[in-house]
Amino acid sequence: MTNNCIRIKGARQNNLKNLNLDIPLNRLTVVTGVSGSGKSSLAFDTLYAEGQRRYVETFSPYARQFMDRMDRPQVEMIEGIPPAIAIDRKDPVRTSRSTVGTMTELTDYIKLLFVRLARLHCQNCCDTVIPETPDIIWEKLQQFSENTQAVITFPYDLRNTPPSVIKNELLRTGFDRIFFDGRIEELSLSWMEKSEKIIHVMVDRVVFKKNDRKRIIDSLELAFRFGGGRLDIWRMDNVHMAFSEALECPRCHIAYAAPTPNLFSFNSPAGACGLCRGFGRTIDIDLDLIIPDHTLTLEEGAIKPWGTWEEKKPEYEDLINFCRKNFIPTDAAFKQITTEQKRSIIEGTADYYGIRGFFRWLETKT
């Protein structure tokens, strides 16, 4: 059996006359020919029918009774054929959101695939965000050389509880040291006052060795437990590593929601483009209609919708005032003013709405 092509031997479906053919896999193959030459008989009645029939046979007899079943095509042998999906060329259902994926229902599977395989990146630092476990952290620690000294800590928030209560609670659970400014210090109220918001409570001080996996894993689990799912590792050469077992960036402390299929669907508000709303097209202004004649000056009405000084439109008055304030000539042809000046008139600035800002406002009134 070949692995790189679909091998058809002796196809006699409809008007096919004992056809032998090899079709390469993982490539785009187009079947063409005059009317009646057997294109549909080959593509739909032979290839699709056999691929679909074999796929349906993988289900249980109970499930098969609810599925459309196709007759076995008239062919001596077909090898290397994968499960097939076909789009009926006569399908009358067409909407502005129809795609090959929606018509074949592949989109539903692709969304599930993306949920499983998608990699989340922090919107602030762009680092990959994954829920980290002690085993994952241990793999990352393999970059340490043997006998590297490190301190494992967990963060403790000081802002909502009196320092004396925090101190007693930590001492009661067996934690009597903190890591502060690159040093290990005794847990005391003075150090807690210097920390102000968060202290890093020491769980363990280790000398990294590859055969110390159990001890380090135990310390990581303990740090996660008392740190509310967060911990830090401080190497004595001033290298700091932060970790979180939740779906959040441990460095930026930004939490993210777990991905869902709707996040990858253009038909859902959660996944649709905010600009085109999933339709794949946008409505924008045509600058050639707004500024049809670049030889006119702003005073002569180069910006057609805003007219000239004779029409006394408020948009024209705002434009002239903005130009005078920013030393943009209003008596020179529009094509003669600088590119930066044109951009400020069209795109607007912090204190002027510009042409695009005007039409965005106008769109809200429709």
Task: State what percent of residues in the chain have pLDDT above 90.
Answer: 20
Nearest to 239 by CA among 274, 208, 277, 275: 208
Residue 281 in any domain: the answer is: no
Structural domain count of the chain:
4
Residue 338 in any domain: the answer is: yes
- Are 97 and 188 part of one and the same domain? no
- Are 231 and 135 part of one and the same domain? yes
- Are 345 and 330 part of one and the same domain? yes
Residue 280 in any domain: the answer is: no
- Are 21 and 96 part of one and the same domain? no
Query: How many helices, marked H, and strands, marked E, lie in the chain?
Result: 13, 13
Residue 279 in any domain: the answer is: no
Evaluate if residue 115 carries a pLDDT over 60.
yes
- Are 150 and 235 part of one and the same domain? yes
- Are 132 and 247 part of one and the same domain? yes
- Are 294 and 266 part of one and the same domain? no
User: Which among 272, 303, 324 is the end of a domain?
Assistant: 272
Nearest to 283 by CA among 228, 175, 362: 362
- Are 149 and 199 part of one and the same domain? yes
DSSP 8-state secondary structure symbol assigned to residue 15: T
Q: Are 101 and 70 in contact (CB under 8 A)?
A: no
- Are 110 and 181 part of one and the same domain? no
Q: What is the pLDDT of residue 1?
A: 46
Nearest to 188 by CA among 168, 160, 161, 173: 168
* Domain containing residue 328: CATH number: 1.10.8.280
Q: What is the pLDDT of residue 235?
A: 87
Residue 217 in any domain: the answer is: yes
The answer to which of 10-24, 158-172, 282-296 has the lowest mean pLDDT is: 158-172
Residue 56 in any domain: the answer is: yes
Burial 248-274 (b: 16+ CB within 10 A, else e): bbbbeeeeeeebebeebbbeeeebbee
pLDDT band at 325 (very low <50, low <70, confident <90, very high): very high
Nearest to 179 by CA among 198, 158, 207, 160: 198
Evaluate if residue 92 carries a pLDDT over 60.
no
Domain that holds residue 10: 5-79
Does an H or E element contain 248, and which? strand 248-249
- Are 248 and 264 part of one and the same domain? no
* Domain containing residue 218: CATH number: 3.30.190.20
pLDDT tens-digit profile of 336-345? 999 999 999 9
Sign, Cα dihedral of 182, 184, 188, 192: positive
Sign, Cα dihedral of 161, 167, 168, 174: positive
pLDDT band at 196 (very low <50, low <70, confident <90, very high): low
- Are 251 and 323 part of one and the same domain? no
Residue 75 in any domain: the answer is: yes
User: Which among 272, 300, 321 is the end of a domain?
Assistant: 272
Residues 119-145 have a mean pLDDT of: 86
User: Which among 220, 240, 272 is the end of a domain?
Assistant: 272
- Are 327 and 215 part of one and the same domain? no
